[in-house]
Structure 1
Amino acid sequence: MYELLSFLPVNNVCNKGREATAFFVGMILLEVLLGWLETGDLLIKINDGTTSLSAGMMSRLPQLFVRSVEVSSYVYVWNNFHILELPWDSAWTWWLAFLGVDFGYYWVHRCSHELNILWAAHQVHHSSEYYNLTTALRQSVTQQFASWVFYLPMALIVPPSIFAVHIQFNLLYQFWIHTEVVKDLGPLEWILNTPSHHRVHHGRNRYCIDKNYGGTLIIWDRMFGTFVPEDDKVIYGLTHPINTFDILSVEFEYYVYLWQQFISADGITHKLSVIFNGPGWMPGKPRLGDTNDLPEVTGKEVPHNPEWSTLLQTYVHVQFLLVLVVYNNLFETEHMLSQTTVLLITGYILLTLTTLGYIMDQSSNSAVWEMSRCLLMLALHRFGYISSTVPLLVLATEVFASLSAVYWALKCFSKLVVKEKHY
């Protein structure tokens, strides 16, 4: 497979990740089944799982407008500055590329925890208080704009297509380690990054903070002193949970917080420290902060999961599946669409993911936003922007969108009546 991929154009190699979608879905369903058989409970909650998948969808949307920054910067350095071209058919080249990408990822990952400006992007991945395969897809839309620099030294000797194969492999490997179903893997735990090691990385327990950064291998953590084995029960999520399913807040709220901290900091030294020190830093504290200042984890913490009706959960699930179809169709046909059409459909996808977050948060403005979105959905179907090729499905979708718009309009009206009575 590697030999075949090395002959493909770089863009084609990078697009191989899209073909893993069916594998992701199958693995998620298998995890749900195994978890249910073991515990009698669903490991994935609709609100949290939908938020994770929404973040994953958003992280790929920039690819519709700009080429991957990691790959394009790598190709630029290779074309202009490479000093040696390692042979593609040498096993040493492939092993060097494998180790080089994994070593680069270790430092990308570590710096994303130790530099506040990079943590603003990476915290998205840690924001779930659950740990399952959907968490692997909870990615930041901005992370790729910083990670590229760590791989550039490889571009001096390793051809871009080989780099692209390994950067894809490194990413795909990390999908399966986001699970509680797999326990201990014996001797493999010494070399590979495993679910046990990565569970620690996602923990907010004090012993878990800033540990186990590895991608495919755990040897870098062992070498650089950032390894710790899984010990106490791991409590997942951020040290200060965000308690929201609003995808825009999940993606960008920390940037707002960082800006506020920057503005309020005294003097240029403190302002720069806000940006380039760790997220736990405060004046008078070490660069990475003091773990003793973190909230104590008791092991009895309950993830944010507000009660909501089964009917509303079903509604969100159906609407998410519908926008997922639109999303996949957009990536399959974007080369045949005008830039205006791509922008319009992208805007609709972002609006849908946002309003579904409002509904899951039970926000007071969710009704008016969802009513407006359903009307837009109806218009886009009517004018053929997101229509199915099956006429019966077109009719069913339009009926569903119409009924949904009426329902949310009635919700808006009832809130206005209540508000008038209150006054």
Structure 2
Amino acid sequence: MNIAVMAFPLYILLMLLELAYERYSGRPTYRLADASTSINTAVLRVLLEGPLRLLLVVPYAWLYEHARWFEWDAALPWVWLFGFVAVDFCFYWAHRTLHRYNLLWGAHQPHHSSEDFNLSTALRKGALQTGFDWPFYLPLAVLGLPLPLFLLLLGVQLVYQFWIHTQHVGRLGWLEYLLITPSLHRVHHGQNDAYIDKNHGGVFSFWDRLFGTHAEEREPVRYGVTTPVGTFDPIRLQFSWWCLLWADALATRCWWDKLRLWWMPTGWRPVDVRHRPWPQMGAEKFERPYPAELKAYAFVQFVLINALALVFLASVRQAALWQAGLLVLVILSGCVSLGLLFEGRRQLWRWEGVRLLAMAGLALGWGVWLASGQWLLAVLLAGLCVASLLWLVLLGWRSRSGQLL
């Protein structure tokens, strides 16, 4: 049971409320391209979370069974309180370390890559981050915190962090001495010189005060990273930072630098490649023009992708490995399509046409040959794909044979 995933309906409700408030107040913070990329990044993380979570669960369970120092009664309230504070303490050090080193920053950078800041930003998690931060939680197994309770508290800790990704809540006075608030977390997402690598806490703010990483919101925050990812493709942005490091590793003539740059402080580069330019944040947010006619199409495809993700979550335990893998490929192909659309790339037309035809064929094949009891659902999905394809053809015809992009 993953509390953070089960809370997804709550996330949707809160985002809708934030959008409604923005419409009422005239203070927009959402862009369709950026918000959908953030949510699709969450979809990508959910798809990978199962196998990556084993990196944490397996050693945790072994240490708890063979090396724990204490026995805790999970029925006692103080054990829950201690466990929650301990989980947040481990999160603080994991989070701080992810910011500290080149290789680890690459796993966490996707979360900071959005140049907007709203509740959807909370969902833009590094899909591979679990593969890097799991060792920081293992001391809790040695201390004797039972695995089910640990996973529950970790999920609650992550759910708390959702609401602090908003620009519509101001300073909260004395509460900021205890808890991470939206104001404190806005600082964390800022690329302002005074804000970089500050406020790493997840729930409690006193960790930052104790360990010298606290900063208050004193000036307007500029969101994003100093080396912008320049993409709305949730798959490409996962590897943006690592691609920069890889290019430096190939270019440098020093073999020692090729190896050590991955573990050097974030931003360190070999001397002989520092003249090679890295992406720089411009005066404007990353945006690519795409026609208004495609916005409705993009929104519908976005909804379908997330509906398929919900189907995946509901059926993954019963599905065969190849069935789950096929569904993952279908979802990922949709994420790529939206990235192409939001970036105004001409490849969209060909890619999307092939994707929709393939999906329609797979749906019919599934309903007719593989799961005859689900033929109605299969026909419905195939019909949606055909309707989307006709819609796409109509848009292309209106734009003079595909010159819309």
Give me the TM-score of the superposition, normalised by structure 1.
Answer: 0.85
Letter in 2 for 1:226: T
Letter in 1 for 2:287: N
- CA offsets 1:301-339 (integer angstroms, 9 cap, x no match): 432233322220110100110111111011101222221
Alpha-carbon distance between aligned partners in 2 of 1:345 and 1:412, rounded to the nearest angstrom: 32
Alpha-carbon distance between aligned partners in 1 of 2:70 and 2:207, rounded to the nearest angstrom: 26
Partner of 1:75 in structure 2?
61
Letter in 2 for 1:189: E
Partner of 1:279 in structure 2?
266
Partner of 2:356 in structure 1?
374
Alpha-carbon distance between aligned partners in 2 of 1:173 and 1:29, rounded to the nearest angstrom: 18
* CA 193–66 in structure 1, closer or farther in 2 if over 3 Å, else same: closer
In structure 1, the gaps of 5 or more residues are 1-11, 417-423
The farther-off stretch of 199-208 and 329-338 is 329-338
- 1:316 is aligned to 2:264: no
Partner of 1:45 in structure 2?
31
- Where 2:46 maps in the other structure, the secondary structure is helix
Partner of 1:123 in structure 2?
109
Specify which of 84, 90, 110 is matched with residue 98 of structure 1: 84
* CA 389–296 in structure 1, closer or farther in 2 if over 3 Å, else same: closer
Q: Does the aligned pair in 1 maintain the 2:363–2:379 contact within 8 Å?
A: no
Q: Does the aligned pair in 2 maintain the 1:36–1:43 contact within 8 Å?
A: no
Partner of 1:338 in structure 2?
320
Q: CA RMSD in A?
A: 2.8
Q: Does the aligned pair in 2 maintain the 1:375–1:405 contact within 8 Å?
A: no
Q: Does the aligned pair in 2 maintain the 1:327–1:349 contact within 8 Å?
A: yes
Partner of 1:355 in structure 2?
337
- 1:141 is aligned to 2:127: yes
Alpha-carbon distance between aligned partners in 2 of 1:359 and 1:294, rounded to the nearest angstrom: 22
Q: Does the aligned pair in 2 maintain the 1:378–1:402 contact within 8 Å?
A: no
- Where 1:176 maps in the other structure, the secondary structure is coil
Partner of 1:247 in structure 2?
234
Partner of 2:167 in structure 1?
180
Partner of 1:5 in structure 2?
none
The farther-off stretch of 141-150 and 370-379 is 370-379
- State percent identity of aligned pairs: 32
- CA offsets 1:19-64 (integer angstroms, 9 cap, x no match): 211100000001111122222x542111001110111100111245
Letter in 1 for 2:56: E
TM-aligned CA deviation for residue 259 of structure 1? 1.5
Alpha-carbon distance between aligned partners in 2 of 1:101 and 1:56, rounded to the nearest angstrom: 22
In structure 2, the gaps of 5 or more residues are none
* CA 392–260 in structure 1, closer or farther in 2 if over 3 Å, else same: closer
TM-aligned CA deviation for residue 191 of structure 1? 1.1
TM-aligned CA deviation for residue 265 of structure 1? 3.3
Alpha-carbon distance between aligned partners in 2 of 1:307 and 1:296, rounded to the nearest angstrom: 18
Alpha-carbon distance between aligned partners in 1 of 2:323 and 2:394, rounded to the nearest angstrom: 29
* CA 414–258 in structure 1, closer or farther in 2 if over 3 Å, else same: same
* CA 341–410 in structure 1, closer or farther in 2 if over 3 Å, else same: farther
Alpha-carbon distance between aligned partners in 2 of 1:46 and 1:23, rounded to the nearest angstrom: 20
Alpha-carbon distance between aligned partners in 2 of 1:391 and 1:294, rounded to the nearest angstrom: 44
* CA 67–277 in structure 1, closer or farther in 2 if over 3 Å, else same: closer
- 1:154 is aligned to 2:166: no
- 1:171 is aligned to 2:153: no
Partner of 1:9 in structure 2?
none
Q: Does the aligned pair in 2 maintain the 1:368–1:412 contact within 8 Å?
A: no
- 1:259 is aligned to 2:243: no
Partner of 2:221 in structure 1?
234
Specify which of 37, 44, 54 is matched with residue 58 of structure 1: 44
TM-aligned CA deviation for residue 408 of structure 1? 7.7
Alpha-carbon distance between aligned partners in 2 of 1:150 and 1:37, rounded to the nearest angstrom: 43
- CA offsets 1:362-401 (integer angstroms, 9 cap, x no match): 1131211111111112212322469795699557514413
Q: Does the aligned pair in 1 maintain the 2:228–2:279 contact within 8 Å?
A: no
- Where 1:207 maps in the other structure, the secondary structure is coil
- CA offsets 1:168-227 (integer angstroms, 9 cap, x no match): 111111010000011111110111011000001101111111111011011111111111
> Superposed, which structure 2 residues align to 1:30-41 within 5 Å?
30-39=17-26, 41=27
Aligned residues: 393
Q: Does the aligned pair in 2 maintain the 1:367–1:408 contact within 8 Å?
A: no
* CA 90–166 in structure 1, closer or farther in 2 if over 3 Å, else same: same
Alpha-carbon distance between aligned partners in 2 of 1:228 and 1:197, rounded to the nearest angstrom: 7
The farther-off stretch of 76-85 and 174-183 is 76-85
Q: Does the aligned pair in 2 maintain the 1:113–1:210 contact within 8 Å?
A: yes
Partner of 1:203 in structure 2?
190
* CA 388–74 in structure 1, closer or farther in 2 if over 3 Å, else same: farther
The farther-off stretch of 394-403 and 147-156 is 394-403
Letter in 2 for 1:163: F
Q: Does the aligned pair in 1 maintain the 2:396–2:402 contact within 8 Å?
A: no
Structure 1 ranges of 4+ moved more than 3 A: 63-68, 265-269, 293-297, 384-396, 404-416
TM-aligned CA deviation for residue 410 of structure 1? 6.1
Alpha-carbon distance between aligned partners in 1 of 2:265 and 2:304, rounded to the nearest angstrom: 40
